[in-house]
Structure 1
Amino acid sequence: MARVGVEESLSNISEALREKGYDVIDLKQQNDAQGCDCCVISGIDSNVMGMQDAVTQGSVIEANGLSADEVCRQVEQKFGR
């Protein structure tokens, strides 16, 4: 099953993805994204300083303004489910 990293503040999305069978990792620090196939971030403080340090090769989904169902659909599209 795909490994999805989710920011700690997005607990409702973590729960929804776990219910769908994804291996969900809490993103507490930048290095936690390593090994994730996809990451879900809040987008609230993304790229504040204009720096782009890639930590994962997986897709990144910005959840700002999206419901848990909408984020789940985007994750499913990334993995062709």
Structure 2
Amino acid sequence: MARVGVEQSLTNVSEALREKGYDVIELRQETDAQGCDFCVVTGIDSNIMGMQDTVTQGSVIEANGLSADEVCRQVEQRLGRS
């Protein structure tokens, strides 16, 4: 199953992904994203400084305005499961 890093404030998303069997880790700092297939972020402070350092090769899903179910659907779509 895919490994998904989720920002701390998105507990509803973390719970929904765990229920679907995904390996979910909490993103507390940038290095936590290493090894993740996906990273779910709020997008609130998205690239404020314009820096483009890459920490992960995984896809980034911006959860701003999305429900937990919509985030799960995006993960499944990107895995080709829907």
TMscore range, shorter length: over 0.9
Percent same amino acid at aligned positions? 83
- Deviation for aligned residue 1:78: 1.1
Output the TM-score relative to the length of structure 1.
0.98
Q: Does 1:31 find its partner at 2:24?
A: no
Instruction: Give the counterpart letter for 2:48 in structure 1.
Output: V
Determine the structure 2 residue equivalent to 1:16: 16
Q: 2:50 and 2:69 mapped to 1: Cα distance?
A: 30
Contiguous gaps of at least 5 residues in structure 1? none
Q: Distance in 2 between matches of 1:24 and 1:72?
A: 12
CA RMSD, aligned part only? 0.5
- Could you list the per-position Cα deviations for residues 25-76 of structure 1 after superposition, in whole angstroms to 9, with x for gaps in the alignment? 1000000000000100000001000111110001000000000011000000
How does the TM-score come out when normalised to structure 2? 0.97
For 1:64, the aligned partner's letter is N
Aligned residue in 2 for 1:51: 51
